[in-house]
Amino acid sequence: MAVRPPPTARCDRCGRPIDEVQVALPCPDCAGPVGISFDSETRPNARRGARVDGLWRYGAALPLRDPNDVVSLGEGDTPVVRLPRWGAAHGMRNVFAKLEYIAPTGSFKDRGTTLVVSRAREIGARELIEDSSGNAGASVAAYAARAGIPAIIFVPAGAPAAKIAQIAATGADVVRVEGPREAVRDAAIEAARSRNAYYVGHNGNPYFEAGTQTFGFEVARWHFGHVMMPVGGGSLFVGGWRGLQRAAAPRAILPRFHLAQPTGCAPIVAAWRRGMGRPVPIERHPTIAGGAEIEHPARGVEILRILTASHGGAVDIHDDAIVAARHELATLEGIDVEPTSALAVAGVIALLRDAVIRSEDRVLIVLTGSGLKVPA
Ligand SMILES: [Zn+2]
């Protein structure tokens, strides 16, 4: 990975150049999504034998000018394991899990954060601001410490104590905000504007998405028929799909991309059932799957487009089914995940019941966050 010309950020819709400290916000002129253009490999290729571990083996396909700016904790290259006992309990022979929680801070968020913080360091950001229900906050706090950049993390007042403790442990300031998840985001954006800080905004940040594409690079060689994951903001869903498209051989058959949301907050599922192209307003109810509790997902249109393109399915899961799925996976396979991740486990059961997934199909369940985050 050599020094290259710097990436440039522009509105995907109207072409307006965007200041990089605001790259996670919609275009100020037309509210379109911000994209980055960069001289990178279109077909990602892991450098075997390179002197780096994890996802930076794909560095030539990632948008960073200078490899010396990489801020890494060894993220990526998560294991794929077979689930024989859980599969047998549900009549499935070819079900696997990708253990995305085996990551420096215990969730898949580290894939995106390593890109965002590396690029923030490259442009000389003096302070990082993020809003998060927990996992992205813990991830940004850790990578900010690693980079030597101060961070302020805005969290919902009711976020799990273990997650808040994890954020504070690496020295970030934690600001608790009352009210809905959107209020937390608004407070973070306002603070970033007034302090001229770098707003991480992982769900809308194109660098974060570039990092989550490495999930797709890793999955491409496995030839799964189905991929199921929990979706809140959908950063892994969108980035993972784009990464798969980049990494797959020409004319390869890509897996169907399915998603699960908690019944208490399922704007994508509601839109999908009604055949709508954008998320619909919902009445939100409390759920234990806090990581997926996003009422107005900024990438909703892209998520619905991917569901259509990949012939995927979207299901909502009640909290009691989430708890049952977590318990069953833990007791049958020794894998304990947080409730938001157990959504995907319950989601496969639901699609099996609906005959969208058949018992002989090759299925990948994406386990995004560790059970240590939310003790059972
Ligand atoms: Zn625009």
Q: Looking at the domain assignment, is residue 141 inside a domain?
A: no
Q: Which helix (H) or strand (E) holds 342?
A: helix 339-353
Q: Which two tokens stand for residue 75?
A: 């993220």
pTM above 0.85, yes or no: yes
Q: Looking at the domain assignment, is residue 322 inside a domain?
A: yes
Ligand 1 centroid – CA 317 distance (Å): 36
**In this predicted model, what pLDDT tens digit does every residue of 187-245 receive, in sequence order?**
999 999 999 999 999 999 999 999 999 999 999 999 999 999 999 999 999 999 999 99
302 is in which domain, residue-wise? 80-107+206-373
Give the sign of the dihedral formed by CA 52, CA 21, CA 238, CA 369: positive
Whether residue 179 is predicted with pLDDT greater than 90 in this model: the reply is: no
Q: Which helix (H) or strand (E) holds 370?
A: none
Whether residue 158 is predicted with pLDDT greater than 70 in this model: the reply is: yes
Q: What is the pLDDT of residue 33?
A: 85
Q: Looking at the domain assignment, is residue 58 inside a domain?
A: no
Ligand 1 centroid – CA 11 distance (Å): 5
Ligand 1 centroid – CA 44 distance (Å): 29
Amino acid found at 209? E
Q: Looking at the domain assignment, is residue 321 inside a domain?
A: yes
Q: What is the pLDDT of residue 257?
A: 98
Sheet holding 173-177, edge to edge: 173-177, 151-156, 128-131, 198-199
Q: How confident is the model at residue 48 (pLDDT cuts 50, 70, 90)?
A: low
Sheet holding 256-262, edge to edge: 80-82, 95-99, 363-367, 226-230, 256-262, 314-317
Q: What is the pLDDT of residue 169?
A: 97
Q: What is the CATH number of the domain that holds 309?
A: 3.40.50.1100
Whether 363 and 309 have beta carbons less than 8 Å apart is answered as no
Query: How far apart are the C-alpha atoms of 357 and 367, rounded to whole Å?
Result: 18
> What percentage of the chain reaches a pLDDT higher than 90?
83
Query: How far apart are the C-alpha atoms of 205 and 231, rounded to whole Å?
Result: 16
Q: What is the pLDDT of residue 50?
A: 65
Q: What is the dihedral of CA 333, 334, 339, 342, to 10 degrees?
A: -10
**In this predicted model, what pLDDT tens digit does every residue of 277-289 receive, in sequence order?**
999 999 989 999 9
Q: Looking at the domain assignment, is residue 60 inside a domain?
A: no
Q: What is the pLDDT of residue 185?
A: 93
Give how many domains the chain has, as a whole number: 1
Q: Which two tokens stand for residue 189?
A: 């954006």
Whether residue 49 is predicted with pLDDT greater than 80 in this model: the reply is: no
Q: Looking at the domain assignment, is residue 275 inside a domain?
A: yes
Q: What is the pLDDT of residue 28?
A: 92
Q: What is the pLDDT of residue 180?
A: 81
Ligand 1 centroid – CA 200 distance (Å): 19
The predicted model gives 62-89 an average pLDDT of 96
Ligand 1 centroid – CA 356 distance (Å): 38
Ligand 1 centroid – CA 30 distance (Å): 4
Beta bridge partners of 314: 259
Q: Looking at the domain assignment, is residue 179 inside a domain?
A: no
Q: Looking at the domain assignment, is residue 359 inside a domain?
A: yes
Ligand 1 centroid – CA 301 distance (Å): 16
